[in-house]
Chains A and B, each alone.
Chain A
Amino acid sequence: MPILQKDSTAIWRKRTTGQALALWAVWLLGVAIFMYCWQVISNATTWFFVWDAPRIATDIWTRATPPKWEYITQLGRPIWDTLNIATLGTLIALVLAVPVAFLAAHNTTPSKMFIRPIALLIIVSTRSINSLIWALLIIAIIGPGVFAGVIAIAIRSIGFCAKLIYEAIEEIDETQVEAITATGASRWQVMAYGIVPQIMPAFAGVAVFRWDINIRESTVLGLVGAGGIGLQLSASLNVLAWPQVSLILLVILVAVVLSEWVSAKVRGAII
Chain B
Amino acid sequence: MSAALQAKVGQQWKRPPFVRNATLRWTLIGGFVAYLIAAYFTIEVNWSRVYEGLDRGARFVLAFTSPDFVSRWTDIRDGMIESIIMTVAASVVGILISIPIGLGAARNVAPLPIYMICRGIVAVSRALQEIIVAILLVAIFGFGPLAGFLTLSFATIGFLSKLLAEDIESMDKVQAEAIRATGARWSQWIIYGVLPQVMPRLIGLSIYRLDINFRESAILGLVGAGGIGATLNTAFDRYEYDTAAAILIIIIVIVMILEYISGIVRARVQ
Whether the pair A88, B223 counts as a contact (CB closer than 8 A) is no
Contact of B39 among A84, A124, A133 (CB under 8 A): A84
Residue of A nearest to B128 (CB): A253
Whether the pair A44, B145 counts as a contact (CB closer than 8 A) is yes
Whether the pair B127, A141 counts as a contact (CB closer than 8 A) is no
> Which residues of chain B are within 8 angstroms of A249 by Cβ–Cβ distance?
132
Whether the pair A145, B223 counts as a contact (CB closer than 8 A) is no
Task: Sample 7 A-B pairs with CB under 8 A, ordered by A number.
Answer: A34-B92, A60-B140, A84-B42, A129-B218, A132-B219, A223-B131, A237-B135
Of A18-26, A50-58, A95-103, which binds chain B? A50-58
Q: How far is the CA of A229 from the CA of B252 in the complex (A)?
A: 29
Q: How far is the CA of A36 from the CA of B135 in the complex (A)?
A: 26
> Which residues of chain B are within 8 angstroms of A84 by Cβ–Cβ distance?
39, 42-43
Whether the pair B223, A223 counts as a contact (CB closer than 8 A) is yes
Residue of A nearest to B149 (CB): A41
Whether the pair A41, B89 counts as a contact (CB closer than 8 A) is yes
Whether the pair A45, B144 counts as a contact (CB closer than 8 A) is yes
Whether the pair A137, B142 counts as a contact (CB closer than 8 A) is no
Whether the pair B248, A129 counts as a contact (CB closer than 8 A) is yes
> Which chain A residues have a beta carbon within 8 Å of chain B's beta carbons?
30, 33-34, 37-38, 40-42, 44-46, 49-50, 53, 56-57, 60, 80-81, 84, 87-88, 124-125, 127-130, 132-133, 136-137, 140-143, 145-147, 150, 193, 197, 200, 204, 216-217, 219-220, 223-224, 237, 249, 252-253, 256-257
> Which residues of chain A are within 8 angstroms of B89 by Cβ–Cβ distance?
34, 37-38, 41
Q: How far is the CA of A193 from the CA of B15 in the complex (A)?
A: 8
Query: Known interface pairs A132-B131, A137-B60, A140-B56. Does A200 touch B85 (Cβ–Cβ under 8 Å)?
Result: no
Query: Known interface pairs A133-B218, A249-B132. Does A56 touch B139 (Cβ–Cβ under 8 Å)?
Result: yes
How far apart are A260's CB and chain B's nearest CB, in angstroms?
8
Contact of A216 among B50, B129, B140, B219 (CB under 8 A): B129
Query: Known interface pairs A252-B132, A257-B127. Does A204 touch B88 (Cβ–Cβ under 8 Å)?
Result: no
Whether the pair B222, A132 counts as a contact (CB closer than 8 A) is yes
> Which residues of chain B are within 8 angstroms of A200 by Cβ–Cβ distance?
18
Contact of B215 among A80, A130, A256 (CB under 8 A): A130
Whether the pair B131, A145 counts as a contact (CB closer than 8 A) is no
> Which residues of chain A are within 8 angstroms of B60 by Cβ–Cβ distance?
137, 140-141
How far apart are A179's CB and chain B's nearest CB, in angstroms?
14
- Contact of B255 with A by CB under 8 A: yes
Whether the pair B255, A147 counts as a contact (CB closer than 8 A) is no
> Which residues of chain A are within 8 angstroms of B146 by Cβ–Cβ distance?
41-42, 44-45, 50
Of B98-106, B165-173, B232-240, which binds chain A? B232-240
Whether the pair A130, B45 counts as a contact (CB closer than 8 A) is no
Query: Known interface pairs A33-B88, A40-B85. Does A49 touch B223 (Cβ–Cβ under 8 Å)?
Result: no
Whether the pair A204, B18 counts as a contact (CB closer than 8 A) is yes
Query: Known interface pairs A128-B251, A132-B219, A140-B239. Does A219 touch B129 (Cβ–Cβ under 8 Å)?
Result: yes
User: Top 3 closest A-B pairs, CB basis?
Assistant: A128-B255, A49-B142, A142-B53
How far apart are A80's CB and chain B's nearest CB, in angstroms?
7
> Which residues of chain A are within 8 angstroms of B129 by Cβ–Cβ distance?
216-217, 219-220, 256
Whether the pair B127, A253 counts as a contact (CB closer than 8 A) is yes
> Which residues of chain B are within 8 angstroms of A146 by Cβ–Cβ distance?
43-45
Q: How far is the CA of A143 from the CA of B54 in the complex (A)?
A: 11
Whether the pair A46, B219 counts as a contact (CB closer than 8 A) is no
How many residues belonging to B are interface residues under a CB distance threshold of 8 Å? 58
- The residues in B between 190 and 228 inclusive whose CB is less than 8 angstroms from any CB of A are 215-216, 218-219, 222-223, 226
Q: How far is the CA of A33 from the CA of B215 in the complex (A)?
A: 20
Q: A44-B226, A197-B15 are in contact. List 12 more A-B contacts (CB 8 A).
A: A30-B92, A41-B86, A42-B146, A60-B139, A60-B140, A124-B256, A132-B219, A136-B232, A143-B50, A145-B45, A200-B18, A257-B127
> Which residues of chain B are within 8 angstroms of A147 by Cβ–Cβ distance?
43-46, 50
Query: Known interface pairs A129-B248, A141-B57. Does A220 touch B141 (Cβ–Cβ under 8 Å)?
Result: no
Residue of A nearest to B237 (CB): A140
Whether the pair B39, A88 counts as a contact (CB closer than 8 A) is yes
Q: How far is the CA of A216 from the CA of B43 in the complex (A)?
A: 20
Residue of A nearest to B81 (CB): A40
- Contact of B76 with A by CB under 8 A: no
> Which residues of chain A are within 8 angstroms of B45 by Cβ–Cβ distance?
145-147
Residue of B nearest to A45 (CB): B146
How far apart are A265's CB and chain B's nearest CB, in angstroms?
14
Q: How far is the CA of A45 from the CA of B82 in the complex (A)?
A: 12
Whether the pair A224, B222 counts as a contact (CB closer than 8 A) is yes
Residue of B nearest to A120 (CB): B256
> Which residues of chain A are within 8 angstroms of B155 by Cβ–Cβ distance?
none
- The residues in B between 111 and 154 inclusive whose CB is less than 8 angstroms from any CB of A are 127-129, 131-132, 135-136, 139-142, 144-146, 149
Whether the pair B50, A46 counts as a contact (CB closer than 8 A) is no
Q: How far is the CA of A97 from the CA of B111 in the complex (A)?
A: 45
- Contact of B49 with A by CB under 8 A: yes
Residue of B nearest to A139 (CB): B236
Q: How far is the CA of A29 from the CA of B50 in the complex (A)?
A: 52
